[in-house]
Structure 1
Amino acid sequence: MGLDPPSGGHMSHGWYMPGGKKVSAASIFFESFPYKLNPQTGYIDYDKLEEKALDYRPKILICGGSSYPREWDYARFRQIADRCGAVLMCDMAQISGLVAAKECSSPFDYCDIVTSTTHKSLRGPRGGMIFYRRGAKSRKQGMCLSNNGDCSGQYDFEEKINFAVFPSLQGGPHNNHIAALAITLKQVATPEYKAYMQQVKKNAQALASALLRRKCKLVTGGTDNHLLLWDLTTLGLTGKCYEKVCEMCHITLNKTAIFGENGAISPGGVRI
């Protein structure tokens, strides 16, 4: 169960076309069910999410997305996962640089599994990382960090995840990639990187303020991280057209669907 792509989620968390066609592997090989934004605010509707999760009873509840400009309430996700008996997983691919610099809330305090790419805000080589809990199960602020509410015993993710990566899905590692990732993580631990991420957030907020002054419609009215979601439907534009225009001006952004519109083919917004 993951955030609906038109709400800012990633297709890899499950995605059906409006006509019911299964698009992503998560929906083709597994049964997926989305949660969505509050259409009035553009924020995740946690009450509706909890209601759906208790009905659907997912085995995995996913937080993290592709174009959600606000903070994630990981503590609330933990409560919901515990209530419905789900493993709580965070895909922090977009915000991992902010998490590493402690410039946004961290999923590690609450989630069972955390995944990330290494080539976005971390500024590293193309690739990914998987973190998972191991050892004795524990509690966090009174909550049991376990998918079945049982805080006794040991976590059993390690063998399953390692086997799923190799030999199930991947071949041999590339040593040049491992070296590049090591350099990246060393840079991330420096004061210079933290200052860089602070400036990235300031830049995003400055751009949001400038667009809002020009009466542009931003989903949620701003940003807490490094990205903005601009709703172009009020201007009569499509994300595909605007993306091409910006490309001609040497500005890189990408078209994206906006919640509430049938935007799978011709999305009505752009992510900056």
Structure 2
Amino acid sequence: MGVQNALVDLPAMRTNPKFIFFTDFDGTITLQDSNDYMTDNIGYGGELRRKGNADTLNGVKQFRDSFREMMDSITTPYDECIKFLVDNIKLDPYFKEFYEWSLANNIPVVVLSGGMEPIIKAILQNLIGPDADKMEIIGNFVGPRPGKSINEQGGWEIVFKHPESGFGHDKSVTLRQYSSLPADVRPTMFYAGDGVSDLSAARETDLLFAKKGHDLITYCARENVPFTVFEDWSSILQKCKEITAGKTTVQEAAREGFEAYKSGAAGVKAA
């Protein structure tokens, strides 16, 4: 993909950035996973949801199928689901500071989510305000069930961005569009995530931030995918400032992450 085509086809390249931050949404930018929160409270409950996540992590079930089962268990009208989440989902206390820094330093933030775009946009508008519109959101969609409206009982279903993929939304597709750019324009790519919806993205970035104590670390350690650990966005902000200032490299940060995992500081037991 040439420079001119990149400017047209990849919105985050329009300002010719040297760095781009890609991130998961649920449980990464936010303190709670909105889909888990719906499933646990107005769907089939936490026990079945946790089993589905474990089945995905262990290769028993594809994420797309597990996630569809979760969403199918929720029959509350869609507009009520959005209100329920806007009223309850909280932002990581340091994300807004990170986002303000990224805007000031020409580091676009692109949300790659296994969730649904309308929910993400509504939550971000509530938590961040007008600047949320400057963030590109790429996720799944929602559609009406046959003969119904999405805003009636049992009326909506998830519509996957990549229904042919076992991920439903294969985040690697977007990441590879950027990683395949010519070396003289290709930005350094960061990614932050926490769980099973991030498995397709784990290998496709220059530096992966994996949330302490969560499933993504287990996967990365098992599959030898380099990563660095974060607890909240204050540690992401600090590390990004160091890298963009040339004080450390993505390779050094990833090495530190694996050492943290081996020492038990990543919040999961080292194998």
Work out whether the TM-score is over 0.5. Answer: no
Higher relative contact order (CA 8 A, sep 6+): 2
| Structure with greater proportional helix content | 2
Task: Give TM-score, length-normalised by structure 1.
Answer: 0.27
Task: Give TM-score, length-normalised by structure 2.
Answer: 0.27
| Higher alpha-carbon Rg | 1
